[in-house]
Amino acid sequence: MKFVTYASDQGARVGLLEGSGVSDVGFVGDMVAFIEAGAPIAQRTPVADPHLLAPLRPRSLRDFITFEGHLKTSYDALGLSIPREWYEVPGYYKGMPDTVIGPEVDIPWPSYTDYIDCELELAAVIGRQGKNIAVADGADYIFGYTIWNDVSARDVQRVEMPIGTGPGKTKDWDGSNVIGPCIVTADEVDGGDLRMILRVNGEVWTDQSSSKMHYSFAELIEYTSRDQTLYPGEVFGSGTPPGGSGIDLGRRINAGDTVELEIEGVGVLRNRIGTRH
């Protein structure tokens, strides 16, 4: 199944996406509450001309770097080298849930950067509470998958990364994290082998597969859940596959460009790059 959040006169509502149509599922509450309740479908009422929002406001955002090819290329561009520790643990940084926007809206270009970049990512949505989860059980904690455009300010990143605290304003501004268009339940797709495509103005920039992840989502869950409880509605990003961002290719996106992130079985996350503030 594919679940969405859409705008209504009563506020944001949870819907079921079937083909190009959306049906309201009759749930009172947001997507995180819906997932936590076990995704109950009380009804299927067709929605006329639905306006899709980000499918959820994540309880938390954790972004990993699981693709070696992207890491090497982007680190080379920043004058850095891959630390040996990357091969030992799946490190991550934490994003800010309130920065999330959805499909078909302009991505804001913040005033403090001349160089923003898109990043194609597959994201897993946690479906149930757990702690100290074994790798063998990790997949059972995934409710479903969505697409994440982890927008980055590359000129800021070049300054921040050598400090060693990770990205700050490289990633954090209103609208810097784009998620959507839906969440496809984990029983419908194999998150370990999905085609991942980035297009800019209709031109394919990369065509890769999640099978190239160095760490599986189950391994990310095992690592993160060590002595820490995970909750429904938390989001784990795969990181970017090779060629899944402009920095990998020596290319830039510009104001007015249309960026499309497509992941097999999930759909297409489409946004326009806004003008600089």
User: pLDDT tens digits for 191-231?
Assistant: 999 999 999 999 999 999 999 999 999 999 999 999 999 99
Measured distance CA(21)–CA(52) in Å, rounded: 11
Q: Tell which wins on pLDDT, 122 or 83.
A: 122
Q: Tell which wins on pLDDT, 165 or 84.
A: 84
pLDDT band at 135 (very low <50, low <70, confident <90, very high): very high
Domains defined along the chain, listed by start: 2-52 (no CATH), 60-276 (3.90.850.10)
For residue 23, the number of C-alpha atoms closer than 13 Å in the C-beta half-sphere is 13
pLDDT at 78 over 80: no
pLDDT at 255 over 80: yes
pLDDT of residue 277: 74
pLDDT band at 41 (very low <50, low <70, confident <90, very high): very high
pLDDT at 13 over 90: yes
pLDDT of residue 163: 85
Q: Tell which wins on pLDDT, 130 or 9.
A: 130
pLDDT band at 77 (very low <50, low <70, confident <90, very high): confident
Q: Which range has the worst mean pLDDT, 54-68, 70-84, 113-127, 262-276?
A: 70-84
Position 97, amino acid: P
pLDDT of residue 76: 86
pTM (predicted TM-score): 0.96
Measured distance CA(135)–CA(150) in Å, rounded: 26
Average pLDDT over residues 91-98: 95
Percent of the chain with pLDDT over 90: 91
Mean residue pLDDT of the chain comes to 96
Give the pLDDT confidence of 14-40 residue by residue, as tens digits: 999 998 899 999 999 999 999 999 999
pLDDT of residue 80: 80
Q: Tell which wins on pLDDT, 81 or 85.
A: 85
3-state secondary structure the chain: CEEEEEEECCEEEEEEEECCEEEECCCCCCHHHHHHCCCCCCCCEEECCCEECCCCCCCEEEEECCCHHHHHHHHHHCCCCCCHHHHCCCCEEEECHHHEECCCCEEEECCCCCCEECEEEEEEEECCCECCCCHHHHHHHEEEEEEEEECEEHHHHHHHHHHCCCCCCCCCCCCCEEEEEEEEECCCCCCCCCEEEEEECCEEEEEEEHHHCCCCHHHHHHHHCCCCCECCCEEEECCCCCCCEHHHHCCCCCCCCEEEEEECCCEEEEEEEEEEC
pLDDT of residue 21: 96
pLDDT band at 98 (very low <50, low <70, confident <90, very high): very high
pLDDT at 67 over 90: yes
